[in-house]
């Protein structure tokens, strides 16, 4: 079983899909000749040709609009947005067209487009290359929102998304692209969409996280363990559909919850998780639900390390809920 980084695992999934299904194609800015800004698609155009791995103009609205048209004619396009920060010109195509085609056609048409985009901070990208806008898409009915935290999940979730017939926003934590390497199964396998992963079992409190905040939460949980607190880390993996059963089972077991994400606090996905817990597991709580998040400011450059949640910040939240 080979060891892969997240970049290699995603590339492996795309290569498998392109080989197995002639309907699959990749399009985006510099995805072909240059292999993408992070080299995720490197070598794919040489293997499959420029008609299936297509360089496009720098026009996100056109990339997603073109992908929608291709999907309606039977293709399964994977559209890459270089950084999720640049997805906003395509926002209308995503939320007004892509997400609603099945509904507006009464099920006559599906729109199997996958929009891949690196998201989040941690690489000194500054305010235009570090944002975490996942909540915008979670709020839009008709979209599946996937955020892996490991190379194996990145491959398995992407292949699962490609098997579906509906649009998927596939956000890749670029901070983890090359910082984590693990054994990844060769060949085809899928990771179920809508099912969370218990990254670390625990008894005293629950840490809910996704993407690059999963390793941060695991580090905090390890430190909490040295203080005698057993923290369970739940990796959500997909935000929509959310694995409510896994979230609520963990909360009912531990009675204490800390939610971790790097997006801004106000209306971030942590607010949805907090509401879910309040509505369905309130009587299980032994302390208030705490959120450790980014701040309600544009993403900074020099203060990136202050903006992003880290293990010490998460540990302070753990101390608070354990001593409540």
Compute the average pLDDT of residues 298-321.
96
**Is it the case that residue 251 has pLDDT exceeding 90?**
yes
**Is it the case that residue 108 has pLDDT exceeding 90?**
yes
Compute the average pLDDT of residues 177-197.
96
pTM for this one? 0.96
Is there a catalytic annotation at residue 129?
yes
Residue identified by tokens 């995603």 is: 10
Mean pLDDT of the chain: 97
> Domains in the chain, please, with CATH?
3-183 (3.40.50.970), 197-323 (3.40.50.920)
Of the pLDDT bands very low, low, confident and very high (cuts 50, 70, 90), residue 164 is very high
Of the pLDDT bands very low, low, confident and very high (cuts 50, 70, 90), residue 153 is very high
Residue-wise pLDDT tens digits, 210-241: 999 999 999 999 999 999 999 999 999 999 99
Is residue 78 within 8 A of residue 25, CB to CB? The reply is: yes
Q: 182 φ, ψ to 5°?
A: -150, 170
Of the pLDDT bands very low, low, confident and very high (cuts 50, 70, 90), residue 1 is confident
Compute the average pLDDT of residues 272-297.
98
Token pair belonging to 242: 């959310």
What is d(CA 75, CA 81) in angstroms, rounded to the nearest whole number? 18
Instruction: Provide the terminal-to-terminal Cα distance of the chain, rounded to the nearest Å.
Output: 46
The strand pair at 53-55 and 24-28 is best described as parallel
Of the pLDDT bands very low, low, confident and very high (cuts 50, 70, 90), residue 130 is very high
Burial readout 70-88 (b: 16 or more C-beta within 10 A, e: otherwise): bbeeebbbbbbbbbbbbbe
Residue identified by tokens 């309130």 is: 282
**Is it the case that residue 73 has pLDDT exceeding 90?**
yes
Compute the average pLDDT of residues 162-190.
96
CB within 8 Å of 208: residues ≥ 6 apart: 234, 236, 247, 250, 257, 258, 259, 260, 270, 273
Query: What is the model's pLDDT at position 118?
Result: 98
Compute the average pLDDT of residues 19-40.
96
Burial of 252 (0-12, 13-18, 19+ CB in 10 A): middle
Residue-wise pLDDT tens digits, 36-58: 999 999 999 999 999 999 999 99
Set 129, 204, 305, 320: catalytic member:
129
Q: 114 φ, ψ to 5°?
A: -105, 125
Percent of the chain at pLDDT exceeding 90: 100
At what angle are helices 6-20 and 151-163 packed, to 10 degrees? 30
């Amino acid at each position: 079983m080979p060891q892969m980084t997240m970049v290699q695992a995603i590339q492996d999934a795309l290569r498998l899909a392109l080989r197995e299904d002639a309907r699959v194609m990749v399009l985006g800015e510099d995805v072909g000749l240059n292999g993408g800004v992070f080299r995720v698609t490197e070598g794919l155009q040489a293997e499959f040709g420029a008609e299936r791995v297509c360089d496009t103009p720098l026009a996100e609205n056109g990339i997603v609009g073109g992908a929608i048209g291709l999907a309606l004619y039977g293709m399964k396009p994977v559209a890459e947005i270089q950084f999720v920060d640049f997805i906003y010109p395509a926002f209308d195509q995503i939320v007004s067209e892509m997400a609603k085609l099945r509904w507006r056609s009464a099920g006559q048409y599906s729109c199997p487009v996958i929009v891949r985009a690196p998201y989040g901070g941690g690489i000194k990208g500054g305010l235009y290359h570090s944002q975490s806008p996942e909540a915008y898409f979670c709020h839009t009915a008709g979209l599946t929102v996937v955020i892996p935290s490991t190379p194996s999940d990145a491959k398995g979730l992407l292949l699962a998304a490609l098997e579906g017939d509906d649009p998927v926003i596939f956000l890749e934590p670029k901070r983890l692209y090359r910082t984590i390497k693990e054994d990844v199964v060769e060949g085809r396998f899928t990771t179920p969409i809508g099912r969370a992963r218990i990254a670390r079992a625990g008894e005293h409190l629950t840490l809910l996280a996704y993407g690059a905040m999963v390793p941060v939460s695991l580090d905090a949980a390890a430190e909490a363990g040295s203080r005698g607190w057993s923290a369970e880390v739940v990796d959500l993996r997909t935000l929509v559909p959310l694995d409510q059963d896994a979230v609520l089972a963990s909360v009912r077991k531990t009675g204490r919850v800390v939610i971790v994400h790097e997006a801004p606090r106000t209306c971030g996905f942590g607010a949805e998780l907090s509401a879910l817990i309040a509505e369905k597991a309130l009587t299980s709580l032994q302390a208030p639900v705490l959120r450790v998040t980014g701040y309600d400011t544009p993403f900074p450059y020099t203060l990136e390390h202050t903006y992003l949640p880290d293990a010490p910040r998460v540990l302070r939240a753990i101390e608070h809920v354990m001593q409540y």
